[in-house]
Amino acid sequence: MNDTSTTILATRRTPSAAVVDEPTRTVAHRKPMASTLAATPPRETQQALVRVLCVDDHLLLIEGLKAKFAVDGQIRCVAALASADHVIDTFVLHRPDVVMLDIEMPGPDVFEVADRLHYLHPDARFVFLSAHIRDGFLASAFRCGASGYFAKGDDLDEIIDGLKRVARCAEGTFVMGSKVRARCQPPKARTPRHGAAALSRTPVSAGPPATLLDSLSQREVEVLRLIGKGLSRNEIGAELARSPKTIDGHQERTMKKLHVSTRSELMRFAIREGLAQA
């Protein structure tokens, strides 16, 4: 009898112990899961982060932008280059949301590089940040597929706001900083795509920025370029296989469109816009 009782009691203890141990094992198994979930950043924060490739040979500007990016919290620099030599390779490596390009840097022509980037990666979004606001630069920026143009004199907060805007706007928008906008005539109206509305602070347009240079015909631009190089009316006529009288007509119409009254003003305009360097 005693042996039997002992056996029964032992049998009952075994399942009882298993029931007690099971919750302990379950709790121990769930703790690492809770820790892993806590370490994962919220999905909204990851989506909000705008990643920028900065291409500029001015180190102080890049460092200033990085500091501002850190304060903002929704944007960061994933890579920085001092020239446009390796822009395409770096874009492929990091896949940034926006590429920010200086215009006047050592190395290859930045507009040619940007045009190549746009051709190879049509989804790439890039903007120009320059110390100079020239009609020729603006026109070249739009032609190569840029999404915006900012002046280095613009407020850093405005530039950062514009970069985030470029990353989130509908395809085909062109975002301008305040100093660039002041240089341009009112941009053409934009029809938002995919229900996207224009975002608040930095104006956008779907057409090219309207500048005085845009009002000139191709022949008038060519005449203006040669005037900027210092050629006389006879020399320009010989260069373009046109009579001096025809050149005079182009010059007169160009002066009216650019709102200047002398040939010397035309020459200064051409030099300022970089046409004389072409």
pLDDT at 171: 82
Give, rounded to a whole angstrom, the gap between the first and last alpha carbons of the chain. Answer: 113
pLDDT at 138: 85
Main-chain phi, psi angles of 30, to 5 degrees: -80, -25
pLDDT at 248: 94
pLDDT at 185: 55
pLDDT at 98: 97
User: Alpha carbon of 195 to those of 75, 98, 171, 176, 198: distances in Å?
Assistant: 24, 22, 12, 21, 10
Domains and CATH numbers, the chain: 44-205 (3.40.50.2300), 216-277 (1.10.10.10)
pLDDT at 85: 94
Q: Which residues pair with 126 in a beta bridge?
A: 99
pLDDT at 198: 37
Provide the residue-wise pLDDT of the chain in tens; the chain has 278 residues: 444 444 333 334 444 444 444 444 444 444 444 444 344 444 444 446 999 999 999 999 899 999 999 999 999 999 999 999 999 999 999 999 999 999 988 888 899 899 999 999 999 999 999 988 887 788 888 888 999 999 999 999 999 999 999 998 888 888 999 988 887 754 444 444 333 333 334 555 545 556 777 788 878 988 998 998 889 999 999 988 899 999 999 999 999 988 889 998 898 888 877 777 65
Rounded Cα gap, residues 101 and 118, in angstroms: 13
pLDDT at 275: 77
